C-alpha cells in the first residue's frame, strides 16, 4: 500500500512517523515554542534527524475552545516555514481547513493537505481535486473546535466515524481524486468522549476494513491525561504506548510530537514483526 502525494509515493509497508510542527502561540501542547520561522525550521530539521518520515506544519490551533485565526495571519505563519521545509527531502503536510491556505501551500510545494474539517469548508474539496497529485488526510470532527467538547458525539462513535469518512471519500472520488491519495484520521479528541476515543483505538480494524490507510493522532491528547492523571507535559509514555497500539492495530501513519522516542519504540515493534531485518541481526545470540 502506498500513499500518493504531490512529490512522493509513500510506502506504507512499514508504519510512518508524521512529526508535528506547530507554528502557533496557543497549541495545547507546544504552543509558542516555534513561532519564529528560524525556530520552526530548526525544529523541522531536528524532527527529520530524529526519524520523521513526514512533517505536518500547522498555523492554527485546533484545541477545544480555540478561536479561528485570520487568513493573513495563518499564511504569514505557515508559508515561510514551508518554503524551507520542502527542501528537507521528506513529504510536507500542511494542517489547514482554509482553501486559500491549501492553494498557497500547494503552490509552494506542499505534498499533503491535512484537514480537520475533511474538506467541508466551501472550495476546499475543489482545491485538492484540482491538484494533480497531492495527498489528503480526511479527519472526523463532531462539531467545531470552539464548541466540540461541550456537546460531544452521542452513541457508538465507530460506525458514525466510518460512515462520515466514507461519505467524504466518495465525494472526492467523484471529483476524480484517486483513492491512493486519501488517508483517514478518526479524529481522537475532536468532539468525542474519552470512552469513544478509546473505542476508536480498540476497534480500529473496523475503519481499516474500508481499505483506506489510517493515520492515528494520539500524541499528548487529553484522553491520555484522563486515564493516567498526567499533565500534558508528562504524557510521553502514554503517547508512545498509544502510538504503538495504533500501529499494532493497523495504523500506517502516526502523528506525534515526540519523534525520537516514538521512532525508537517502533524499531522495537518492527524487530518483532521482521526479526531477520533489524539492525544487529545475525547468528550470534
Retrieve residue 222's grid coordinates.
487529553
Retrieve residue 237's grid coordinates.
509514555
Name 209's bridge partners.
none
Retrieve residue 42's grid coordinates.
530548526
Sign, CA torsion 66/42/233/20 = positive
Name 20's bridge partners.
56
SS (H, E, C) 155-172: CCHHHHHHHHHHHHHHHH
Q: How far apart are CA 259 and CA 277, in angstroms?
A: 22
C-alpha triplet 262, 43, 247: angle, nearest 5°: 20
- The answer to whether 96 touches 78, Cβ cutoff 8 Å, is yes
Q: How far apart are CA 92 and CA 106, in angstroms?
A: 10
Q: For the CA atoms of the chain, what is the radius of gyration?
A: 18
Q: How far apart are CA 181 and CA 250, in angstroms?
A: 18
- The answer to whether 21 touches 40, Cβ cutoff 8 Å, is yes
Query: What is the set of active-site residues?
Result: 221, 255
Residue 130, number of CB atoms within 10 A of its CB = 14
Q: How far apart are CA 273 and CA 57, in angstroms?
A: 31
- The answer to whether 141 touches 191, Cβ cutoff 8 Å, is yes
Q: How far apart are CA 54 and CA 47, in angstroms?
A: 9
Amino acid at each position: 500500500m502506498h500513499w500518493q502525494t504531490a512529490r512522493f509515493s509513500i510506502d506504507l509497508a512499514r508504519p510512518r512517523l508524521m512529526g508535528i510542527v506547530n507554528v502557533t502561540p496557543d497549541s495545547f501542547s507546544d504552543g509558542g515554542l516555534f513561532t519564529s520561522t528560524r525556530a520552526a525550521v530548526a525544529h523541522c530539521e531536528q524532527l527529520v534527524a530524529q526519524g520523521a518520515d513526514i512533517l505536518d506544519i500547522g498555523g492554527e490551533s485546533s484545541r477545544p475552545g480555540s478561536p479561528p485565526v485570520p487568513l493573513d495571519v495563518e499564511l504569514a505563519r505557515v508559508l515561510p516555514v514551508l518554503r524551507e521545509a520542502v527542501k528537507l527531502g521528506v513529504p510536507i503536510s500542511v494542517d489547514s481547513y482554509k482553501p486559500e491556505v491549501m492553494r498557497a501551500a500547494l503552490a509552494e510545494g506542499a505534498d499533503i493537505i491535512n484537514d480537520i474539517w475533511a474538506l467541508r469548508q466551501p472550495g476546499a474539496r475543489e482545491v485538492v481535486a484540482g491538484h494533480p497529485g497531492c495527498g489528503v488526510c480526511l479527519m472526523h470532527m463532531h462539531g467545531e473546535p470552539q464548541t466540540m467538547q461541550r456537546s460531544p458525539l452521542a452513541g457508538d462513535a465507530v460506525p458514525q466515524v466510518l460512515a462520515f469518512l466514507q461519505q467524504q471519500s466518495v465525494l472526492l472520488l467523484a471529483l476524480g481524486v484517486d483513492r491512493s491519495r486519501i488517508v483517514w484520521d478518526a479524529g481522537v479528541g475532536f468532539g468525542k468522549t474519552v470512552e469513544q476515543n478509546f473505542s476508536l483505538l480498540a476497534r480500529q480494524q473496523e475503519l481499516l476494513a474500508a481499505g483506506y490507510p489510517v493515520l492515528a493522532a494520539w500524541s499528548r491528547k487529553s484522553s491520555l491525561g484522563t486515564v493516567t492523571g498526567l499533565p500534558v507535559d508528562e504524557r510521553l509514555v502514554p503517547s508512545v504506548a498509544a502510538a504503538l497500539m495504533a500501529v499494532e492495530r493497523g495504523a500506517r501513519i502516526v502523528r506525534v510530537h515526540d519523534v525520537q522516542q516514538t521512532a525508537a519504540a517502533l524499531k522495537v515493534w518492527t524487530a518483532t514483526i521482521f526479526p531477520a531485518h533489524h539492525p544487529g541481526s545475525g547468528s550470534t545470540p
